[in-house]
Structure 1
Amino acid sequence: MSAKQTLKDQIIQKAWEDAEFKKKLIANPKEAVKEAFGVDVPDAVEVEVVEESADKYYLVLPPNPADVKAAADSEAAMWE
């Protein structure tokens, strides 16, 4: 499992267990992640948190591998 996926799993688990963290994560994801996990998300990376429900599902399209390869030198590339 990648470090990115591990962090993602930890964030989700904490949001399920800690209502205050979840509230802050939705309102200000970068600050919530920094406070809870000590991880600075670069300014070049935009983070949006949405919560699914039983009747609302979000399909996340990952970046096209060709686009990721072209942007490999950017500050945001490690977050792709």
Structure 2
Amino acid sequence: MSSQSLKVQIIQKAWQDEAFKQQLLADPKTAIKDAFGVELPDDINLTAVAEEDKHFYLVLPPNPEDAASADGDVELVW
């Protein structure tokens, strides 16, 4: 995998490959596994959405203090 984060690679591929984009929107875990060989754990939920010209999403990440005390040891380079 290149030095770019997985998130950047996924976005770039979705911009370039409409079939991948549609699969990503429908079944993101399978799309990522098929395209990048990265299998996300079963306990990780992932939703992919596409912003539009006048419809945007603001995603609030978990509070780092909460993440530090959470169970599980998932390390993803996102």
Give the shorter-chain TM-score range.
Answer: 0.7 to 0.9
Which has the higher relative contact order, 1 or 2, with Cα contacts under 8 A spaced 6 or more apart? 2
Gaps of 5+ in 2: none
Find runs of 4+ consecutive structure 1 residues off by over 4 angstroms: none
TM-aligned CA deviation for residue 78 of structure 1:
1.7
Give the counterpart letter for 2:68 in structure 1: K
- The two structures, once aligned, show a CA RMSD in angstroms of 1.7
TM-score, with length taken from structure 1: 0.86
Gaps of 5+ in 1: none
Query: How many residue pairs were aligned?
Result: 75
Report % sequence identity: 51
CA–CA distance in structure 2, aligned partners of residues 40 and 64 of structure 1: 24
Alignment of 1:15-34 (within 5 A): 15-34=14-33
Please, which of 60, 71, 74 is the counterpart of residue 72 of structure 2? 74
CA–CA distance in structure 1, aligned partners of residues 52 and 22 of structure 2: 15
Q: Deviations over 1:2-44 (max 9, x none)?
A: x7x7100000000000000000000000000000000000111
Q: Deviations over 1:50-79 (max 9, x none)?
A: 1001100100001011110011x404x324
Alignment of 1:52-71 (within 5 A): 52-71=51-70
More helix by share: 1
